[in-house]
Amino acid sequence: MKKKLRVGIAYDVKEDYSISAEGFSHCDFSMLFEIKMIKEILEDRGHIVYLLGNYQKINKLLMDGKFPEIDIVMNTAEGILSRNREGWLPSLFEINDIPYSGSDAYALNLTLNKLHTKIIAEYLNIPTPPYCKVDCIADVETAVRTLKGPWILKPNYEGSSSGVILANSEDELVLAFQKLSAEYHQILLCETYIDGREFTVALLYDGKNTKTLGTVEIIRKAKPQLGIFSAEDKYSDTCTKIPAVLSNHIIEGMQDDAKRLHQFLGCNDYSRADYRVDSDGQYYLLELTPLPNVDYESGFAKCCEYGKYNLGKVLEEILYNALQRYKNKQDH
């Protein structure tokens, strides 16, 4: 029997940064109910759990010599307003020789950069929507000239569909560029919109041990077709996840590509890959997320549920896998 752990959960919520809980401009944070859910699940499995908070609170605990005696940190924190934000806490933990779950700072920062992730996906021959970088109005003109419309425009360093806009004309694309540039002050990514269905693949472990937990489809409750999976959709009750119903070769292709990208980027413990599949059955990778939400209604948890994996056991395996990796590093 594996030992019971003393676990600290690193997390941040919108309120930590004076962001309205009702807004959707910056959505890439945990919800407090999700953190409490993780705590309860781990406690039900016999572990002792501490809620540590965000990077500011954790840094203060370390500076004051009050960081609790724990075996491992379960890291879910996102940070804010920096392309390095997801790497703050992993770097802090490494400096202080504290074991933590999830990917390291490099992998987190790399996958947060949608443009660079797509370039690597192309290198691996993983299909992804045609795209270009948009940093000025001239880039918008280039996008219209080189990419088939309609277009998706999104901030390059945000998650949870924050700021994703569908533009059906050049005028709409210009307005979207002006809006997102003023709001996010960062490079934007423009992609050809893939008219089709949206799917999610969940992954567990890392390296040669990486395995898929399942694949689900995200659908809108009011109608079968999902135009875009917006931030409003993610944080409301408009959508649900169902078991993926596709040809086996399509599901296997998405799962294999997700696994290859997870491994190539050096992601650890778990991740989630998102895809669009068009009417011809061609799938396109949208992004890989190494810090996915894990609440009961999340795509990751639904992959576990429909794949007959107990979510509590999976969360526990994430921690044990991370601890074994830390031990292996210490032994070398």
Q: Residue 234 maps to which CATH number?
A: 3.30.470.20
Please tell me the predicted confidence (pLDDT) of residue 11.
Answer: 94
In one letter, which amino acid is 254? M
Lookup: tokens for 21: 């809980």
Characterise 102 by phi-psi region: left (phi > 0), alpha (psi -120 to 50), beta (else).
left
Tokens of 208: 């040669």
Give dist(CA 329, CA 324) in Å, integer: 9
Rounded distance between C-alpha atoms, residue 89 and residue 94, angstroms: 8
pLDDT (tens digit per residue) in 222-244: 765 656 665 565 556 778 899 99
pTM of the model: 0.91
pLDDT digits (tens, 9 = 90+) for 112-140: 999 999 999 999 999 999 999 999 999 99
What single-letter amino acid sits at 25?
S
| CA 70 to the chain's CA centroid | 26
**pLDDT score recorded for residue 135:** 95
pLDDT at residue 60, rounded to an integer: 95
- pLDDT band of 22, cuts 50, 70, 90: low
pLDDT bin (cut points 50, 70, 90) of residue 147 is: very high
Pair 211, 302 in one domain = yes
HEC string of the chain?
CCCCCEEEEECCCHHHHCCCCCCCCCCCCCCHHHHHHHHHHHHHCCCEEEEEECHHHHHHHHHCCCCCCCCEEEECCCCCCCCCHHHHHHHHHHHCCCCECCCCHHHHHHHHCHHHHHHHHHHCCCCCCCEEEECCHHHHHHHHHHCCCCEEEEECCCCCCCCCEEECCHHHHHHHHHHHHHHHCCCEEEEECCCEEEEEEEEECCHHHCEEEEEEEEEECCCCCCCCCCHHHHCCCCEEEEECCCCHHHHHHHHHHHHHHHHHCCCCCEEEEEEEEECCCCEEEEEEECCCCCCCCCHHHHHHHHCCCCHHHHHHHHHHHHHHHHHHHHHC
Mean pLDDT over residues 33-42, rounded? 94
Per-residue pLDDT, averaged over 310-321, amounts to 98
Do 207 and 272 share a domain, yes or no?
Answer: yes
Residues 210 and 311 grouped into a single domain: yes
pLDDT at 220: 81
Residue 30 lies in a domain: yes
Q: Which residue segment(s) compose the domain that 88 sits in?
A: 6-101
Give the residue with greater pLDDT, 285 vs 28: 285
Is 97 found in the same domain as 18? yes
Peptide bond into 150 cis (omega under 30): yes
Residue 324 included in any domain: no
Q: Give a yes or no: residue 50 inside a domain.
A: yes
Share of the chain above pLDDT 90, in %: 78
Domain assignment present for residue 125? The answer is no
Q: Do 80 and 164 belong together in one domain?
A: no
Same domain for 206 and 308, yes or no, is yes
| pLDDT for the residue 221 | 77
Give residue 28's pLDDT.
Answer: 58
Tell whether 215 and 302 lie within a shared domain. Answer: yes
In this predicted structure, what is the pLDDT of residue 32? 84
For residue 15 the two structure tokens come to: 């309120």
Instruction: Please check whether residues 223 and 148 belong to one and the same domain.
Output: no
Provide the CATH number for the domain around residue 50.
3.40.50.20
User: Between these two residues, 263 and 329, which has the higher pLDDT value?
Assistant: 263
Of all residues in the chain, the percent with pLDDT exceeding 70 is 89
Residue 160 and residue 93 share a domain? no
Query: Which CATH number characterizes residue 174's domain?
Result: 3.30.1490.20
CA–CA dist 74, 52 (Å, integer): 10
> pLDDT grade, residue 290 (50/70/90)?
very high
Give the residue carrying structure tokens 């996102």: 78
* pLDDT (average), residues 196-209: 96
- Is 115 among the domain residues? no
Same domain (yes/no): 204, 284: yes
Are residues 53 and 149 both part of a single domain?
no
Q: Is position 330 within any domain?
A: no
Which of 172, 192, 212 is the C-terminal boundary of a domain?
192
pLDDT at 33: 85
Shared domain check, 309 and 200: yes
The answer to whether residue 124 sits within a structural domain is no
- Would you state the pLDDT for residue 174? 97
pLDDT of res. 188: 97
- Report pLDDT for 239: 81
* Domain tally, the chain: 3
Residue 235 maps to a domain: yes
Q: 């770097």: which residue's tokens? A: 91
Q: Do the Cβ atoms of 245 and 164 come closer than 8 Å?
A: no
